[in-house]
């Protein structure tokens, strides 16, 4: 069992971050929300005011673009499957590619792009579908540290522009505090909600927030709790005595 | 001019190595190091090749062989891709056919000629079907593998964005398998040429294989080598042609532009 008795509510327009040790079922939770994985029990409710648009759209960790489609055709893929007309699809793709800064790369193929650019396409593809909830599964985990920092700023900007509800899974507490309105901490497997922390660091937020004392205090507070879970997960995984891991 | 220079600069090994072989051969035959009865000088062979081409003998045989390859390859390609795709998509079918294919595939193709002759009219049709057998297996194998190797995450993402049924097949599974299908087609085309020549040696009076065998039997060694050369050239042209086609049709494959 990956998850156990999860009860969670995201507010409209909220940026909700989910952190937890490896194997706590963060990704499974997201896959349940996306309809990619059928939960054994329980329900997912998403309030939808606009018929015809999908409930969720996922940004995958390994981007998962279709290699045989150009950047533009990857972005329009979901719209195409829903029967949206060509003119509207292309207008939509132009808009989203401009938003993620890839307007000039519409006719490129994914293999011609860098990792960060591919993930921008993944984000544009999800946004083009105009979902009620945007799901992001460690979207920046595969990128190098510098690209990741740039992408975090980009995400803040895009979210501020569109005001989407986002559920964002990450293993980086720093990232969660930079991006999120609230941070949900999951326990080691089976994942349960351990604690939900509001991130009162103000908006709009930028990288400079990391220098503030409030940020440091919150990071310390959540980390001490997360650390326990990480150690517990390691112990469960390998049968290691937690006392033996320094600390 | 500079483009030509750069082209030569990049490919001098590719062009130079067969030339070196020819020059060495010419020299060895001329000096008597190789017996000219069995290894005539390449320049002599070239003369015979020209004669064969001028009096029209060659073109008839080339046309016959090409038509046979055309039929065999089409048959193998259509059935191989269709069955390969089906095997890639349905596990049950794959599990059922895999052992059958594993047993039949390694049998030397020419041995199918008598068997095929029992099933279809002997002669031209039996020859074409026999030639298709090995190519069919190669194309079916690579196509199956092509479907199987598609990144599951990409398929999952495509489903998540609403691709189902026919759309999933046409927009995701087929294009995902295409690079492998092309590899299979290229291998299959090469084998069609190999097998058609072998079958022609065994059982035909026309075609390049027949010409080769006839030349050998009446000890027209120069003609035999000339035919060798034509077969080799044909193989290279077909293979490179298909590779060029692939590069044009599959611009998304990173290495497609290499050749």
Burial A33-68 (b: 16+ CB within 10 A, else e): bbebeeeeeeeeeeeeeeeeebbbbbbbbbbbbbbb
Residues B149 and B235 in one domain: yes
Q: How far is A69 from chain B (nearest CA, A)?
A: 8
Chain B residues contacting A via beta carbons under 8 Å: 151, 153-154, 156-164, 167, 171-172, 175-176, 178, 250-254
Q: Is the pLDDT of residue B159 over 90?
A: yes
- Kindly give the parts of chain A with pLDDT less than 70: 1, 239-247
Q: How far is B172 from chain A (nearest CA, A)?
A: 8
Residues B30 and B47 in one domain: no
CB-based contacts of A18, cutoff 8 Å, min separation 6: A26, A29, A30, A167, A168, A169, A170, A176, A183, A184, A186
Give the tens place of pLDDT for each residue, B121-136: 888 999 999 999 999 9
Could you give the percent of chain B with pLDDT greater than 70? 98
Q: Which residues in chain A touch residue B151, judged by CB atoms under 8 angstroms apart? A: 64
Chain A with chain B: Cβ pairs closer than 8 A: 56
Residues B17 and B82 in one domain: no
Closest residue in B to A70 (Cα) is B252
- pTM here is 0.86
In the prediction, which pLDDT does B255 show? 65
Q: Is the residue at B160 inside a domain?
A: yes
Residues B202 and B97 in one domain: yes
Residue of A66, A79, A133 to mutate for B, most B C-beta atoms under 10 A: A66
Q: Is A60 on the interface with B (CB under 8 A)?
A: yes
Residues B12 and B97 in one domain: no
Tally of structural domains, chain B: 2
Nearest to B162 among A67, A78, A111 (CB): A78
Residues B195 and B230 in one domain: yes
Mean pLDDT along residues B15-41: 92
Mean pLDDT of chain B: 92
Q: How far is B109 from chain A (nearest CA, A)?
A: 36
Q: Is the pLDDT of residue B258 over 60?
A: no
Residues B107 and B200 in one domain: yes
Q: How confident is the model at residue B257 (pLDDT cuts 50, 70, 90)?
A: very low
Q: What is the CATH number of the domain that holds B118?
A: 1.10.3720.10
d(CA A114, CA A101): 13
What is the domain extent for residue B94? 41-249
Closest residue in A to B175 (Cα) is A68
Q: Is the residue at B175 inside a domain?
A: yes
Q: Is the residue at B258 inside a domain?
A: no
- Give yes or no for a contact between B228 and B238, defined as CB atoms under 8 angstroms apart: no
Residues B122 and B18 in one domain: no
Give the tens place of pLDDT for each residue, B222-239: 999 999 999 999 999 998
Q: Which residues in chain A touch residue B153, judged by CB atoms under 8 angstroms apart? A: 60, 62, 64
Q: Is the pLDDT of residue B210 over 90?
A: yes
Residues B152 and B223 in one domain: yes
Q: Is A66 on the interface with B (CB under 8 A)?
A: yes
Cβ contact, residue pair A125, B252, below 8 Å: no
In the prediction, which pLDDT does A24 show? 82
Residues B23 and B84 in one domain: no
Residues B102 and B161 in one domain: yes
DSSP B10-47: HHHHHHHHHHHHHHHHHHHHHHTSS-TTTS--HHHHHH
Closest residue in B to A122 (Cα) is B157
Residue of A68, A74, A134 to mutate for B, most B C-beta atoms under 10 A: A68
Residues B174 and B223 in one domain: yes
In the prediction, which pLDDT does A122 show? 97
Q: Which residues in chain B touch residue A35, judged by CB atoms under 8 angstroms apart? A: 160
d(CA A79, CA B62): 52
Q: Which residues in chain B touch residue A71, judged by CB atoms under 8 angstroms apart? A: none
Q: Is the pLDDT of residue B66 over 80?
A: yes
Q: Is the residue at B49 inside a domain?
A: yes
Taking chain A, what is the end-to-end CA distance rounded to the nearest angstrom? Answer: 30
Cβ contact, residue pair A36, B156, below 8 Å: yes
Q: How far is A118 from chain B (nearest CA, A)?
A: 13
Q: Which residues in chain B touch residue A82, judged by CB atoms under 8 angstroms apart? A: 162
In the prediction, which pLDDT does B254 show? 78
In the prediction, which pLDDT does A240 show? 58
In the prediction, which pLDDT does A160 show? 93
Closest residue in B to A67 (Cα) is B252
């Amino acid at each position: 069992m990956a998850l156990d008795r999860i009860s969670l509510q995201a507010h409209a327009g909220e940026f909700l971050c989910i952190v937890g040790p490896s194997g706590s079922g963060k990704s499974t939770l997201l896959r349940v929300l996306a309809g990619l994985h059928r939960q054994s029990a329980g329900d997912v409710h998403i309030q939808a005011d606009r018929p015809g648009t999908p409930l969720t759209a996922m940004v995958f960790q390994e981007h998962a673009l279709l290699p045989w489609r150009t950047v533009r055709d990857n972005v329009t893929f979901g719209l195409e499957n829903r029967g949206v007309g060509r003119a509207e699809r292309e207008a939509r793709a132009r808009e989203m590619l401009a938003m993620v800064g890839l307007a000039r790369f519409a006719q490129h193929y994914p293999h011609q792009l860098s990792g960060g650019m591919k993930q921008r396409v993944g984000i544009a593809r999800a946004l083009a579908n105009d979902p009620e909830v945007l799901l992001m599964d460690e979207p920046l985990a595969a990128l190098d540290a510098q690209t990741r920092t740039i992408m975090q700023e980009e995400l803040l900007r895009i979210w501020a522009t569109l005001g989407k509800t986002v559920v964002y899974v990450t293993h980086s507490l720093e990232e969660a505090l930079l991006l999120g309105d609230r941070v949900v901490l999951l326990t080691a497997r089976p994942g349960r909600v351990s604690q939900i922390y509001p991130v009162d660091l103000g908006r709009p937020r930028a990288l400079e927030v990391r220098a503030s004392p409030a940020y440091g205090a919150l990071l310390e507070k959540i980390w001490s709790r997360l650390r326990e879970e990480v150690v517990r997960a390691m112990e469960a995984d390998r049968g290691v005595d937690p006392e033996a891991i320094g600390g | 001019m500079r483009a030509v220079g750069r082209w030569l600069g990049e490919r001098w090994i590719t062009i130079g190595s067969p030339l070196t072989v020819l020059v060495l051969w010419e020299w060895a035959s001329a000096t008597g190091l190789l017996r000219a009865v069995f290894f005539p000088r390449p320049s002599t062979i070239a003369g015979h090749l020209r004669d064969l081409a001028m009096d029209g003998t060659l073109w008839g045989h080339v046309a016959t062989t090409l038509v046979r390859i055309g039929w065999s390859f089409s048959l193998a390609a259509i059935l191989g891709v269709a069955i390969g795709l089906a095997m890639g998509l349905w596990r049950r079918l794959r599990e059922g056919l895999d052992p059958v294919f594993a047993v039949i595939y390694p049998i030397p193709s020419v041995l199918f000629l008598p068997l095929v002759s029992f099933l279809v009219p002997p002669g031209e049709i039996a020859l074409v079907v026999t030639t298709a057998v090995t190519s069919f297996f190669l194309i079916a194998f690579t196509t199956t593998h092509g479907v199987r190797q598609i990144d599951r995450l990409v398929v999952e993402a495509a489903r998540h964005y609403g691709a189902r049924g026919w759309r999933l097949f046409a927009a995701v599974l087929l294009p995902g398998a295409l690079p492998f299908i092309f590899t299979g087609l290229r291998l299959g085309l090469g084998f069609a040429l190999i097998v058609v020549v072998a079958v022609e040696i065994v059982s035909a009076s026309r075609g390049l294989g027949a010409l080769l065998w006839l030349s050998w039997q009446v000890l027209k060694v120069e003609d035999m080598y000339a035919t060798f050369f034509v077969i080799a050239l044909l193989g290279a042209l077909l293979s490179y042609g298909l590779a060029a086609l692939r590069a044009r049709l599959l611009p998304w494959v990173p290495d497609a532009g290499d050749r």
